[in-house]
Amino acid sequence: MASADPDIAPAPVVVDAAMLSGPRFAALPPLALYVHIPWCLRKCPYCDFNSHEARGDAPEAAYVDALLQDLEYALPSVWSRRVVSVFIGGGTPSLFSANAIDRLLAGIRARVPLSPDAEITLEANPGTFERGKFAGFRVAGVNRLSLGIQSFDPKHLAALGRVHDADEARRAAEAALAIFGNVNFDLMYALPGQTVAQAESDVATALSFAPAHLSFYHLTLEPNTLFHRYPPPLPDEETAADIEDAIHARLDAAGYRHYETSAHARPGQECRHNLNYWRFGDYLGIGAGAHSKLSFADRIVRQVRYRQPKQYLEQIAEGAPLQEDHVVTRAEVGFEFMLNALRLTDGVPASLFAERTGYPLALVRHGLTAAESRGLIERDPALVRPSELGRRFLNDLQALFLADEPANARQLR
């Protein structure tokens, strides 16, 4: 058909059958399980996670019952698939007793086949630290602890509204290392009034514990937070960039590989659960507001559970915990894959695209060509890997894949 606009030549119609049908999978991706615990001792002023002040006791027993019921409802979607990792996140899962976590993990094991070497992570806040409780988490089967330290500087902890002080952070860190061995610390940088020297001191203290893994997040002002409404005095862009460079240099010198945008690990100690997200693996998310991405022979679906804990519990009782449930379209899937894979310093094998999306890599050829011509990805036919420039301007790089759909496919949808 001729174009209506005389200045635009008609595009050659190249119909690629593989791109016009739905996805096709030779094998389904690895499956991980995420469990959301939505309560905290107190809401931090910078945090937009689905976390709610516990105000007295969180309904721990009823919530564990609901999680196991939730998993049971979801079983037909993951039937017979092995679970390779479990991540109990929040909120503050360490608010729960060791007994509750034990019942949760036993209930999970009774319902899904868990790999014998599954990584089982639990997120903990130093403000909830009790040695006996943390030891109980380990006995329950948790084999990796992720501790929300944020900073070791009393002034910064106070500015962040944390419930714990620096001594409590150190004590929890020490005990976590002794009990679990495999530990991550979450720290944030570009904190209110923070200097390069103060950030370096945080890194040095963190390194003195020699954890397996360190996550360093640039503090961001998220909408719907107190910090967004009343912004604290943050370091300017140049200082923030200097802080980031200093952190990365110190971690690199100490043998921690910067393997993902915010994650650093000793070789072989990368977070397997998160790597599965970045490699576009599957995950079932249970609990209030949890997200899932699940592949079937002919489609990928995304689901979101009801977000408010009370409503989630009511919906579980009704047998209908899903607030959203939709099939990922061909137009979305290329962008979603690249959004994740490009966070990884080493990128991913090019063949992973077809394995995990069910479409040939040609689905994102326009984005790849644009990214290559701007020097944002490396030219290697066997790999999809961001260049150093691409890592620095990751948002710009990811955005190139937003509308990456061949015109012919768009017309024929």
Give the residues lining the site for ligand SAM (CB under 6 A): 40, 46-47, 49, 89-90, 92, 123, 125, 148, 150, 186, 188, 217, 219-220, 222
Nearer to ligand SAM, 308 or 408 (CB): 308
43 binds, among ligand SAM, ligand SF4, none (CB under 5 to 8 A by kind): ligand SF4
217 binds, among ligand SAM, ligand SF4, none (CB under 5 to 8 A by kind): ligand SAM
Query: CA separation (Å) from 54 to 91, 224, 285, 315, 348?
Result: 10, 19, 21, 20, 40
Q: Is 40 in the site for ligand SF4 (CB under 6 A)?
A: yes
- Measured from each CB, the residue nearest to ligand SAM is 148
Q: Is 184 in the site for ligand SF4 (CB under 6 A)?
A: no
Instruction: Provide φ and ψ at 300, rounded to 5°.
Output: -120, 135
Q: Kindly write down the DSSP assignment for every residue of 224-241, as one continuous string.
A: TSHHHHS---PPPHHHHH
**Least distance (Å) from ligand SF4 to the CB of residue 157?**
12
**Least distance (Å) from ligand SAM to the CB of residue 220?**
4
Neighbours of 261 (CB within 10 A): 17
Which uninterrupted H or E stretch holds 150? strand 144-150
Place of tokens 């499956």: 31
Nearer to ligand SF4, 47 or 328 (CB): 47
Contact 348, 314 (CB under 8 A): no
> How many helices, marked H, and strands, marked E, lie in the chain?
17, 16
Q: Residue 151 contacts by C-beta under 8 Å, 6 or more apart in sequence?
A: 157, 160, 166, 169, 187, 188, 191, 202
Q: What is the dihedral of CA 227, 230, 236, 242, to 10 degrees?
A: -20
Q: Which of 51, 215, 292, 398 binds ligand SF4 (CB under 6 A)?
A: 51
**Least distance (Å) from ligand SAM to the CB of residue 219?**
5
Task: Show the DSSP H helices in 28-97 as ranges.
Answer: 60-74
Q: How many CA atoms lie less than 13 Å away from 68 in the CB half-sphere?
A: 17
Nearer to ligand SAM, 222 or 380 (CB): 222
- The amino acid present at 337, given as its one-letter code, is F
Map the footprint of ligand SF4 across residues 123-162, applying CB under 6 A.
125, 148
Closest CA to 333 of 303, 353, 305: 353
**Least distance (Å) from ligand SF4 to the CB of residue 40?**
3
Mask for 59-98, x = binds ligand SF4 (CB under 6 A): -------------------------------xxx------
Q: Is 47 in the site for ligand SF4 (CB under 6 A)?
A: yes
**Least distance (Å) from ligand SF4 to the CB of residue 51?**
4
**Least distance (Å) from ligand SF4 to the CB of residue 164?**
9
Which uninterrupted H or E stretch holds 77? none
Q: Is 287 in the site for ligand SF4 (CB under 6 A)?
A: no
Contact 373, 365 (CB under 8 A): no
Q: How many residues bind ligand SF4 (CB under 6 A)?
A: 11
**Least distance (Å) from ligand SAM to the CB of residue 77?**
25
- Interatomic CA distance for residues 126 and 173, integer angstroms: 8
**Least distance (Å) from ligand SAM to the CB of residue 225?**
7
Chain positions contacting ligand SF4, by CB under 6 A: 40, 43-44, 47, 49, 51, 90-92, 125, 148
